[in-house]
Amino acid sequence: MSYNNTQKIEVIINGTRMIIEDEDKIKSIKNIVLSDTAPEKLSTLITSQKAADILGMSRPTLIKLSDNGKLNYIRNGNRRMFKEQDVLNYKMDRENIGKKLNELSDLSNDLNLDV
């Protein structure tokens, strides 16, 4: 009985999914990831449920966001893991957009514009 020890990794960048099997490419990707996780850049990985809770949305909605490339994730087996900092940044961006929309709404009310 022989076992195939070929290593595979799944990489998703901006919504594009790739399966990498070439050992040299895998090593290169690992080096890039590890260099990007220097202590000052280190981010905790969290589950999709925790990420959804932080963002105040359902897990299926979070999965759709990640499938559409709005939020990057790392696949760990059949689980999606998210960098906590990415989730917090996304939340902050959404909150900033909400504030700007409220400001526009207030301005249109002040100017008696029908929107």
| Angstrom distance (rounded) from CA 80 to CA 29 | 18
pLDDT digits (tens, 9 = 90+) for 85-98: 999 999 998 888 77
Please name which of 48, 84, 93, 42 lies closest in space to residue 66, comparing C-alpha atoms.
Answer: 48
User: Average pLDDT of 10-39?
Assistant: 73
Q: How confident is the model at residue 82 (pLDDT cuts 50, 70, 90)?
A: very high
pLDDT digits (tens, 9 = 90+) for 27-76: 777 777 666 555 545 568 999 999 999 999 999 999 999 999 999 999 88
In the block, which residue shows the tokens 């759709």? 64
> Whole-model pTM?
0.54
Complete domains list, the chain, with CATH: 9-110 (1.10.1660)
Q: Give Cα separations from 45 to 3, 5, 69, 82 (angstroms).
A: 31, 26, 18, 5
- What are 12's strand-pairing partners? 17
